[in-house]
Amino acid sequence: MTFESSSPQLRVLLVEDEPTIAITLGDELEENGYRVTCVADGREAIGLLDDQAFDAVITDLRLPGASGLDVLRAARSGRPQAKVLVITAFAPPELEALRRAGAVLAKPFPNRSVLDWLAAQVA
């Protein structure tokens, strides 16, 4: 599943393979003025990060193709100033530093939490 909005606001890459989360979160982000590109595969996300600039990346940890950690590394290597939020029901030890920095959100979560995180990143 891939969809993209045309809002001129911040560009967000949403990487989520669970359709319900991808659709509801993607819709809410768009309704709040973000320009959203949504993909369900980590490898596809990494390809997009190689070709396009995103202001923020919201990625699930466990994905087909490549992990959310791979997506995180690609986002940071291509554009170090991009903000990255990892959403997951699983939190391996290597995410502890991100958790302390507020860049890990445990599932389930209210979509408002993601909107608040994004707002804090641009404040």
pTM metric for this prediction: 0.87
Contact indicator for 79, 57 with CB cutoff of 8 Å: no
Q: Which CATH class is domain 3-122?
A: alpha beta
pLDDT along the chain (123 residues), means of 10: 53 96 96 96 97 94 93 89 88 68 82 93 77
- What is residue 23's predicted lDDT score, i.e. its pLDDT? 97
CA distance 16 to 25: 10
Task: Indicate the domain borders of the chain.
Answer: 3-122
- Residue ranges with strand state E in the chain: 3-4, 11-15, 35-39, 56-60, 83-88, 104-106
